[in-house]
Amino acid sequence: MSDSVRRVAVCPGSFDPVTLGHLDIIGRASKLFDKVIVLVSTNLAKNPSFTLKERLLMIEAVTSQYQNVIIDILDGELLANYVRRVGAIAIVKGLRAVSDFEYEFQMALANKKLYPAAETVFLTTAAENMYLSSSVVKQIASLGGDISSFVSPEILPLIQERLGRQQSQ
């Protein structure tokens, strides 16, 4: 299938750090679209623990099994403009709860106004990930808690080193 007719989706987020919940959404999106661009972006409302490049490298490390997933950085550009530029037909967002939907619905309407050719696709989280967020992971790690069931083992040491106390094995 040529690039001009491939179904490309963009999965944006701050991924600070990437969690198993994020990976669930990325994996499921990879089954729905021919190409998924995981787009690491800055969340201006939060103080990031990892640089954009560090987050890109972490996501690359934990998504290597997906042949149709690539990672990119969004820095200083509107999401709608990026989606248009790469020829994507969809923006994929994960939803944990109704409170997520209110914010994401507003963003979806704004993106649709800015770039009508792309649809926002909402994927609901798996039940076991409903409580899981990067913020929760950061808080637990910073207090020395065990985050091994929340993030991939490939990136666990880096997160523990940056955010908190090392767990004794």
46 catalytically annotated: yes
Distance (Å) of CA 163 to CA 28, 40, 48, 140: 28, 19, 11, 9
List the catalytic residue out of 14, 30, 41, 134.
134
List the catalytic residue out of 46, 53, 85, 165.
46
List the catalytic residue out of 22, 35, 55, 93.
22
Return d(Cα 36, Cα 91) in angstroms, integer: 9
22 catalytically annotated: yes
List the catalytic residue out of 6, 28, 84, 96.
96
14 catalytically annotated: no
Residues ≥6 apart with Cβ < 8 Å to 164? 140, 141, 142, 143, 144, 145
Residue matched to tokens 């955010």: 163
93 catalytically annotated: no
Please give the positions annotated as active site: 22, 46, 96, 134
